[in-house]
Amino acid sequence: MIPRLHERTYAPRDPLAKALGRPVSPDECLTEHTVIGHWPGLDNYTFDDEEMTWTSVRWAEHLEDPLLEHPFAVSPDGDRRAILHLDVRLHPDDRDLTGPEWAEVAHRLARAAGIEIPGKENGCQWIAVQAQPGALT
């Protein structure tokens, strides 16, 4: 696998648009086949009978909520750019992965980056998007 770390940003719309390969849209729903991984606490934001097919705009707004709820939060060095954008692509010699294997890759990367702590539901909000074969963002 070949990882690529992008510069942190203030808003999730541009990284999400890059992951999808098109602008975010209020009309396009992203299914569990596109958003293949997310933080454990996401279930607290949905009703039991609600389907997990949000529009790309709704995903972007939801990921931006913590910044709006805490407008003065900064890192120890005063940085407000809280959106981490990491993408991973298969090396030409790598075998193709199944959907569940890509989801496991997403969770492992989130744990390795320290944004997902096992057993903690109220951690960082994150999603993993697979809109292109052989790649994860």
pLDDT at 74: 82
Cα dihedral value 51, 55, 58, 59, nearest 10 = 80
Q: For the chain, where are the E strands, in sequence order?
A: 2-5, 29-30, 35-38, 54-55, 86-89, 127-129, 135-136
C-alpha Rg value of the chain to the nearest Å:
15
pLDDT confidence bin for 75, thresholds 50/70/90: confident
For the stretch 81-101, pLDDT in tens is: 888 899 999 999 999 999 999
pLDDT at 48: 59
- How far is Cα 37 from Cα 103, in angstroms, rounded to an integer? 5
The pTM assigned to this predicted structure is 0.84
Q: How many C-beta atoms surround the C-beta of residue 84 within 10 A?
A: 17
49 has pLDDT over 70: no
